[in-house]
Amino acid sequence: MNDENPILVLFESLLKTDAEKRILELIINEKSKEEIIEDFLKIKEK
Amino acid sequence: MISYDYRIERLDKGRKSEIFVPGKLPKKIDNITYIEGPNSSGKSTLLNLIALAFFGHRNEEIVNALRKKMIHLLNSQRNRLTFKIEINDKNNNLALLAEKDNPEKNEVSLFDYVNGKKERLSLESFEKKYNLIYDIPQNPTERIKLLTQEIKEIQRRYGDIISDLKDYIRHILREIESSRDPNKIKKLKNSLKDYKKNHNELQRDLKHNKELLEKLERATYCKYYLKYKEENSKNYNQLISMQSKSKLEKVRKTRGSKEFDQFNRGLLKELKYLKELQENILSSFYSLPKKELDILSIFQKINLDEVTEFLEFPKNLNAIMNKIEKKCVELIDDSKKEDYYQKAMFYKELITVLERYNSLKIDVPGTAKSINDLIGDLKKELNENEYLLRYIENTKKLMELIKSFSQVKQSIEVHYLPDLKELRKENKNNNETITYQKISLLQEKHKETKEKKDLYYERYMKIGEPDPKKVLKLGDGILNKYLNFSEEELLSEISKINSDISRINEEITTCNLKKDLTTNELNILENQKPHKYTKYQEKLNKLFEVTEELTSKLKNEFNKNIEYLEDSNINPEEINENQKKYNWAVFRYLGKRIEFYRHIKDYYEVDYINLIDEVLVTKNGKKIYFSEMGTGQSQSAYLLGKLNTSDNRIIIALFDEVAMMDDQSLKPLFDKCRELYNNGKLLVGIIVQKANKIKIESKIKD
């Protein structure tokens, strides 16, 4: 996650899974619903 | 560059209205500007108008006191307001235009310019792209705490976005459900194949049962129709013959003859039952394979009708009964010694055990067969040896009949015969009475055989009056196993096959229904287009779960956490682990927001701000308590925190009344504005301070 963005730092420490963190990061970066889904479908299970 | 102009006509009842226009301040200022001026110089009005132009009066993040000022300006009863504000970006392209040209209406027109294209902005579209910050940093240390309100707002906003995302994923999943799914199509095809196979098997069973029923009904109905027809005819002839021989006279009913009649009726009733037992014994015995018994032929010749004449049973009857019973015992003992019997019993017991576990989907070791298949094989084997079991059961039944026969015989000997003998001596009309008794007996028998004959005739007609010579016989071909069946057993078997046929027909109907439904579903699915996410269905389900969890966290769990943290009555000892974790995340977040802090003469990089202990901790471990902070320094820290936003929206920052801040405190604020402006993240940064003289300073350059 992007260390420069304070809100990302906040949620980075509060969320447990990579998937949750990634979704929030994409939302903070104002990605659309479609972009978030496409991004998630390419993520390997962690 | 910011260009603006306005006209405010303030109406006061009974007084002359006042007009306010920009006079003391220039109508054009740089995007980052520091303004000093005395009261009524127009500096706060400028900030209020800019904020009003960008929906500031509806922005809940702006303190209520400032919003009230904007709403007051809009009040057409009090103020007749018009204004126009144009803001150019750092490349001097027009970025925003706000205009209110009708003093009677509250409406402000706001436009955004993207690549020169003008677009009207609503509150929602404005807030999506821009972040209006308008603040008076009074009591800044308390206001640092209020930065938590922003976290609350962010959590709510992101919670809503993720909730929307969750709904959208659910919508996609529903679309996938009803789209062309190769796996589902494959499953449906397999189901259809199974239904077809099942259907064929059921049809085969139905055909077999129908054929069996037809042949069994023909054989049974023909056999018993002919049997009862013959018996009935024989009875009829006997009856006619007896009636013609005897001249029937009405028996005089003396006191003695009435009593005789009473006993005689009882005797006839008992004898009728005894004769039925005799017939059943003979029928059962002849159904046994080993029927080479002389004793039976003697038993058969015993005429029970004669008992009414002689009032006693044949003398050898007891001996005959004993012999038959003994023979039955021998037959059972001999049969049980046979291997076939042992084998059949073994199969029967094994089937009982296996049927208790037939729901288990396992192969029986050593057979490579499922439990159900093995039960099927054993039943087949048992069927081949079933005649032996039936033989023993029939023999046991025979013994029961013999026992009943002996009991009824004994009852007659005790309860009827002695009295009847006595009464007969007294009765003068012996001969007439005996004839009358015989005729009554024959009439009754004739009636019975006629009923049976009629019943079977009706059934025989129903199956089309087949030629008895051409009818398959019991024990032949498909009727092989019915050779030794009694009349009762045959009728029961016919009823059972009829039930089987009804059941199979019902199963065929159900199977057809399932087949049709599956075919329809398959047709619909095959005609649909595949969804682009079909193969990701599993991952989407997982994503749906993640969004569900995340929505709940942001809107419920974290919301409770931030409300708890905002509570000023927190007892540090009562904070649970989850809340502690949350608090620390917020403390570090605030550290990031403030970033740098000037204390006395030095700058420090902030590590975290502990709101409960009210202390700011620097990266090198220095603790600065809120109570030790100079007002100007804490104002600077607070405003820096406001500028260190966490999203990509373009900031329009308006700060009023920063009176406590000296040049050193203001410097990091201007530096931050400049950095954001140069990165395209800030469009307006105006900082206003009260002073005796007007001073306008551009802060675009250091």
What is the pLDDT of chain B when averaged over all its residues? 85
Question: Do A10 and B542 lie within an 8 Å CB cutoff?
Answer: no
Q: Which domain holds residue B382?
A: 254-428
Would B355 be classed as within a structural domain?
Answer: yes
Highest mean pLDDT among B391-395, B535-539, B636-640: B535-539
Would B287 be classed as within a structural domain?
Answer: yes
Q: What is the pLDDT of residues B605-617, one digit of tens each?
A: 889 999 888 888 9
Would B323 be classed as within a structural domain?
Answer: yes
Q: What pLDDT is stored for residue B281 in this prediction?
A: 85
Would B493 be classed as within a structural domain?
Answer: no
pLDDT greater than 80 at residue B20: yes
Nearest CA in chain B to A36: B165
Which stretches of chain A sit within 8 Å of chain B by CB?
A: 5-11, 13-15, 17, 19-20, 23-24, 27-30, 33, 36-37, 40-41
Q: How far apart are alpha carbons B191 and B188 in whole angstroms? A: 5
Q: Which residues of A touch B582 (CB under 8 A)?
A: 14
Q: Predicted ipTM?
A: 0.91
Domain final residue pick, B428, B451, B481: B428
Would B390 be classed as within a structural domain?
Answer: yes
The stretch B579-601 carries a mean pLDDT of: 84
Q: What pLDDT is stored for residue B630 in this prediction?
A: 66
> Residues near B180 by Cβ (< 8 Å), separated by ≥ 6?
B525, B526, B528, B529, B530, B531, B534
CB atoms within 10 A of CB B147: 19
Q: Which residues of B touch A14 (CB under 8 A)?
A: 553, 558, 581-582, 585
Nearest CA in chain A to B594: A6
Written as six digits, the tokens of B498 are: 């009829």
Both B264 and B407 in a single domain?
yes
User: What number of CA atoms fall less than 13 Å from residue B323's CA on the CB side?
Assistant: 12
Would B105 be classed as within a structural domain?
Answer: yes
Q: What is the pLDDT of residues B240-297, one digit of tens each?
A: 887 776 654 444 444 456 677 778 888 888 988 998 898 888 877 766 655 556 777 7
Q: What pLDDT is stored for residue A44 in this prediction?
A: 46
Q: What is the pLDDT of residues B593-604, one digit of tens each?
A: 877 777 766 778
Asked if B669 contacts B636 with a C-beta cutoff of 8 angstroms, the reply is: yes
Would B313 be classed as within a structural domain?
Answer: yes
Question: Do B553 and A37 lie within an 8 Å CB cutoff?
Answer: no
Tell me what percent of the residues of chain B surpass a pLDDT of 70. Answer: 92
Highest mean pLDDT among B61-70, B118-127, B277-286, B303-312: B118-127
pLDDT greater than 90 at residue B651: yes
Q: What pLDDT is stored for residue A46 in this prediction?
A: 41
Both B132 and B259 in a single domain?
no
Burial class (CB in 10 A: 0-12, 13-18, 19+), B387: middle
> Residues near B669 by Cβ (< 8 Å), separated by ≥ 6?
B636, B639, B640, B643, B655, B661, B687
Q: What pLDDT is stored for residue B289 in this prediction?
A: 57
Give just the sign of the alpha carbon dihedral B179, B184, B189, B194.
Answer: negative
What number of C-beta contacts closer than 8 Å exist between A and B? Answer: 79
Highest mean pLDDT among A14-23, B275-284, B302-311, B348-357: A14-23
Q: How would you classify residue B595: left for phi > 0, otherwise alpha for psi between -120 and 50, otherwise beta?
A: left
The stretch B8-23 carries a mean pLDDT of: 78
Residue A27 Cα, gap to closest chain B Cα (Å) = 7
pLDDT greater than 80 at residue B656: yes
Domain final residue pick, B428, B460, B490: B428
Q: What pLDDT is stored for residue B325 in this prediction?
A: 84
pLDDT band at B209 (very low <50, low <70, confident <90, very high): very high
Q: What is the pLDDT of residues A1-36, one digit of tens each?
A: 444 577 888 888 899 899 999 999 899 888 999 999
Q: How far apart are alpha carbons B190 and B4 in whole angstroms? A: 75
State how many domains chain B has: 2
Both B260 and B394 in a single domain?
yes
Both B258 and B115 in a single domain?
no
Residue B634 Cα, gap to closest chain A Cα (Å) = 20
Domain final residue pick, B383, B412, B428: B428
Both B131 and B259 in a single domain?
no
Long-range contacts of B321-329 (CB under 8 A, 24+ apart): B321/B402, B321/B405, B321/B406, B323/B295, B324/B281, B324/B285, B324/B293, B324/B295, B324/B296, B324/B299, B324/B402, B325/B399, B325/B402, B325/B403, B327/B293, B327/B295, B328/B395, B328/B398, B328/B399, B328/B402, B329/B399
Q: What is the pLDDT of residues B449-503, one digit of tens each?
A: 899 999 999 998 888 888 888 888 888 898 988 887 888 889 999 999 999 999 9
Would B461 be classed as within a structural domain?
Answer: no
Q: How far apart are alpha carbons B393 and B398 in whole angstroms? A: 9
- Choice among B197-211, B519-533, B538-552 with the minimum mean pLDDT: B519-533
Q: What pLDDT is stored for residue A45 in this prediction?
A: 43
- The full DSSP string for B299-323 is HHH--TTHHHHHSS--TTHHHHHHH
